[in-house]
Structures are given as structure tokens and as C-alpha cells.
Structure 1
Amino acid sequence: METTSTTNRRQHKRILVSSPTKVQSGDNEYSGRILNISAGGAGIQMDVQLHDNSQITVNIDDVGMIPAKVVRNLQDGVAVKFMLSEEKEQQFIRMVEGIVAKSRGSAEEKAAS
């Protein structure tokens, strides 16, 4: 009997969110919703499909426009890999952690009221 093992190839913890965003691809701008995010990339719900390896920018609240590349299409959007230098990636990790902390604080406040 043959056994196989599946390993998690992700380098960064992925966090579930639901945040509106704008995606720019060339001269086109699309509305979408970030469904999950990590320091390495994001899953974005969109009404359009973009070609794999398309160079785009993703607007992330409290962070700004982040360069990215489409790595695959999803049923209702795209998965992207952020294209950041190591130094900028470390800054971005801290920013994402701040967004998550703020989001968790809002959720806890709602649950308490």
C-alpha cells in the first residue's frame, strides 16, 4: 500500500477577513472583497477572472496599494501572491497583524454588547 503525505506549503499564517478592496490591472480597476490574507498573499472575491501571472495591485485598508501577481483563479475570484522585498514584507506583516488585532477588538466589543 502506497502512502502519501500532504504538507502545508504556506509560509505565512492565513487569516480570514471580509474587507472590501479595489484591484488594479493595467488601466482597469475592479471592486472585490478580500476573503483571507497573509503576509504572502490573499484570496480575493471578484466578479471577473484575471489571467494567471497577471501583475496587479491590491488596495488594502490602512496599508495602501500592494503589488501582487495572480497565482490561480478561484471559483469566485483570484488567489494572489504579494510581490514585496524581504524588508517590505516584514513591515507588511506588522501592518497585517495590526489590522487583525483591530478586527478582533471590534468583534469582541460587539460580542460584549
Structure 2
Amino acid sequence: MTNEETQNRRQHKRVIVSQPTIVSTNDENFKGRILNISAGGAGISLDVQLKDNTRITVNIEDLGLIPARVVRNMKEGVGVKFEISEEKEQRFIEQITDIIERKRQQKEQNIA
């Protein structure tokens, strides 16, 4: 499958970010960095490998603790799918969009 085909399968627009996070399992906490995020999930850089289907909680700045499940291991970390209800999904999309917009504005101000 080509990279373009993989990207076209995504339900939500994925945005590149670089944001520190804490990923928690039932018994451990790991420092990581969110590499990309969408309303459906995220790519997270971690120094540890977590097994597929591991249930975790991702601490996202301004959003709080979001339940998720590991769906793939990558060289630099894991891909996770957020496990939120459909009724919360639209609000979650709006919150992520707000965070992304604020980060863009900060970046533009730093360039100017």
C-alpha cells in the first residue's frame, strides 16, 4: 500500500505537532512526545514499546486525560486510537482545532 493510500484511509485530518505528554498504563507512566494528532488518534514518541491493544491514557495539554488504545508500533514510538464516545468526538475535534490554531499563531508571532 502506498503512503498516499494509507493517508486516504484516515477519517480525520492529522496535524504534525511536537508536544510533551505523559502516557499511562494501569501501573506505569511514561514521558513521551506527541508527534502528530487528529480527532481519531495520535503518533507518540516513547522510549518504550507498548504491545498492540494496550489500553492507555494520554495526557494532552488543555484537554486532559484521553483514553486510547495502541494500534501499532513504530520505530520511534506508537500509534494510538482515541477511545471517546461519538457524542464527545465533535467537541474533541473543536478542542484539537483550537490548540492547533493557537500553536500556529504562536509560531507566526515568533517569526515576525
TM range (shorter): over 0.9
CA distance in 1, matches of 2:5, 2:108: 35
Secondary structure, aligned partner of 2:10: coil
Moved over 3 A (4+): none
CA distance in 1, matches of 2:87, 2:15: 21
Deviation of residue 79 (structure 1)?
A: 0.2
Give per-residue Cα distances to partners, 1:11-35, cap 9 Å, x unaligned.
0000000000000011100000000
Secondary structure, aligned partner of 1:17: strand
Identity of aligned residues (%): 59
Aligned to 2:56: 56
Deviation of residue 6 (structure 1)?
A: 3.1
Deviation of residue 56 (structure 1)?
A: 0.3
Aligned to 1:32: 32
CA distance in 1, matches of 2:83, 2:61: 17
Where structure 1 has 5 or more consecutive residues not aligned to the other structure, the ranges are: none
CA distance in 1, matches of 2:65, 2:5: 34
Secondary structure, aligned partner of 2:29: strand
Aligned to 1:69: 69
Where structure 2 has 5 or more consecutive residues not aligned to the other structure, the ranges are: none
Deviation of residue 101 (structure 1)?
A: 0.6
Aligned to 1:111: 111
* RMSD across aligned positions (CA): 1.1
Give per-residue Cα distances to partners, 1:19-72, cap 9 Å, x unaligned.
000000111000000000000000000000000000000000000000000000
TM-score (norm 2): 0.94
Aligned to 1:6: 5
The structure whose residues are more often helix, as a share, is 2
The code of the aligned residue for 1:59 comes to: N
Aligned to 2:96: 96
